[in-house]
């Protein structure tokens, strides 16, 4: 799939960086591909902004951040997936 602006929302901002949440059906491997974030997201996401990516298909949450944004291309780092096991 492609980036969907409706899934991106800012949670907080402080000290020059922001915390975002992005909900998608795309895998984290797709989301952290350079150039995935397009349109207004290029103007909103800044280097070092933290993004919690919620893959609603898997389901999984990955904590990642913007590695770089040159004004036309956003490149996310690979990040760390937070997984859990429900044993009851």
Of 83, 82, 79, 84, which Cα lies nearest the Cα of 50? 79
What would the pLDDT profile of 16-69 be if each residue is shown by its tens digit? 999 999 999 999 999 999 999 999 999 999 999 999 999 988 888 999 999 999
What would the pLDDT profile of 41-55 be if each residue is shown by its tens digit? 999 999 999 999 999
Q: Which two tokens stand for residue 54?
A: 């919620």
| Residue 43 three-state SS | helix
Q: Output the pLDDT for position 84.
A: 76
| Residue 14 three-state SS | strand
Tokens 């990040």 found at: 79
Q: Output the pLDDT for position 63.
A: 97
Structural domains in the chain?
A: 18-77 (2.40.240)
Q: Looking at the predicted structure, is the pLDDT value of residue 85 above 90?
A: no
């Amino acid at each position: 799939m492609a980036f969907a602006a409706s899934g991106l929302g800012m949670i907080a901002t402080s000290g020059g960086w922001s915390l975002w949440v992005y909900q998608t059906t795309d895998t984290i491997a797709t989301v952290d591909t350079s150039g995935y974030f397009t349109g207004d997201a290029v103007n909103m996401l800044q280097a070092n902004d933290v993004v919690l990516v919620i893959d609603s298909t898997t389901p999984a949450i990955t904590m990642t951040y913007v590695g770089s944004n040159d004004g036309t291309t956003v490149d996310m780092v690979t990040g760390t997936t937070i997984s859990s096991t429900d044993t009851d």
